[in-house]
Amino acid sequence: MQLPPTTQAWTVRAYGGPEVLELQELPLRAPGPGEVLIEVRATTVSSGDRRVRALDLPAGFGVLGRFALGFRRPRRAVLGTELAGVVVAVGERCRQFGVGDAVIAFTGVRMGAHARHVVLPMGAIIVPKPERITFESAAALCFGGTTALHFLRRARLRAGERVLVVGACGTVGSAMIQIARQMGAEVTAVTGADKHDLARDLGAAVVIDAAGFDPAAQRPGYDVVADTYAGRFRQFAPLLAEHGRYLAIAAGLRDMFARPLGSRRSIAGMAAERIEDVVELAALARAGEFHPLVDSVFAFADLPGAHARVDAGCKRGSVVVSMAPSAGGSAHQ
């Protein structure tokens, strides 16, 4: 198969809104030794992409964020943390995958998935795509799923424990419900009234309306509180049982150093990017036990529209971008 000389990618020319995105034609290089070239079939616009594009970081990370990401614009011009696609070329000494293999790749902090083609080393997080799920669903497997796995493992969640998920129908929250249930926990979801049925379908035993939700008015006794919105340990600590764990998934800098309150403690920090977690998520998806929640599917040509959807703050699960000619902005898949 002869490769095209160029490919298309969405690049970020400055920090700002979706208007800073620009579709560019870039040279396409053949994979070198130990590399694979993947033709992307679908990717996502995650909250991580939005934060980088807009330089909208958790409290306390402003200056540190510019050092890490770039002062005037993102150092990595092509965003995108996850993708599903097909291997179209392999370099020498690449034996794990062959041309034609359908795969999932988690580019994570190295980004680069918002392109029609991606070259990755074999040391990257690449796993076979389960046959039973679509490319659009497969593209949404990694970001929320690995975050949920990371925090629930750090919490050492045990079967029979009670988990409260705040922001239960977003990318991370929807994965948190499913994986906590898979681990044998009883899940209570906090979400908007229009998402109550969805939260139950995902596996929540109890659903609390987010409108007017007041932690102080809730009955305590949760072993784990997973907060997908912010770091609010002191606000939620009274809800925790003895030896309870608060998961600050969107923690600010100060939350990283929150001291325990008696036997109750806060867990914060970046989620690890491990191939073992993606292998596990793919196995769960293959068995029909994990379903990445897809909010909407946008065409690649309308990737800025996908960013705008994430900016709106009302999505249910992941916003997917598809390379399929028929894709285009359908919501609540």
The enclosing H or E element of 23 equals strand 21-27
At residue 180, the pLDDT reads 98
At residue 329, the pLDDT reads 58
pLDDT in tens, the chain (333 residues): 688 999 999 999 999 999 999 999 999 999 999 999 999 999 999 999 999 999 987 766 667 777 777 778 888 999 999 999 999 999 998 889 999 999 999 999 999 999 999 999 999 999 999 999 999 999 999 999 999 999 999 999 999 999 999 999 999 999 999 999 999 999 999 999 999 999 999 999 999 999 989 998 888 999 999 999 887 898 899 999 999 999 999 877 777 778 888 999 999 988 999 999 999 999 999 999 999 999 999 999 999 999 999 999 989 999 999 998 777 655 544
Reference 162, options 188, 182, 183; nearest CA is 188
At residue 331, the pLDDT reads 53
User: Which residues of the chain are in CATH 3.90.180.10 domains?
Assistant: 6-141+292-331
At residue 61, the pLDDT reads 65
Q: Which residues have C-beta within 8 Å of that of residue 217, sequence separation ≥ 6?
A: none
In CATH terms, the fold of domain 144-268 is Rossmann fold (3.40.50)
At residue 37, the pLDDT reads 98
110: its two tokens? 């190295």
At residue 257, the pLDDT reads 72
Looking at domain 6-141+292-331, which CATH architecture does it have? Answer: Alpha-Beta Complex (3.90)
At residue 325, the pLDDT reads 78
The pTM of this model reads: 0.92
- For 282, phi and psi rounded to 5 degrees? -65, -40
User: Which residues of the chain are in CATH 3.40.50.720 domains?
Assistant: 144-268
Q: Distance (Å, rounded) from C-alpha 64 to C-alpha 323?
A: 35
Reference 162, options 190, 186, 179; nearest CA is 186
CA pseudo-torsion sign 215, 218, 220, 226: negative
Reference 36, options 116, 119, 146, 140; nearest CA is 119
User: What is the residue-wise DSSP string for 186-242?
Assistant: EEEEEE-GGGHHHHHHHT-SEEEESTT--GGGS---EEEEEESS---HHHHGGGEEE
At residue 333, the pLDDT reads 45
- Amino acid, res. 79: L
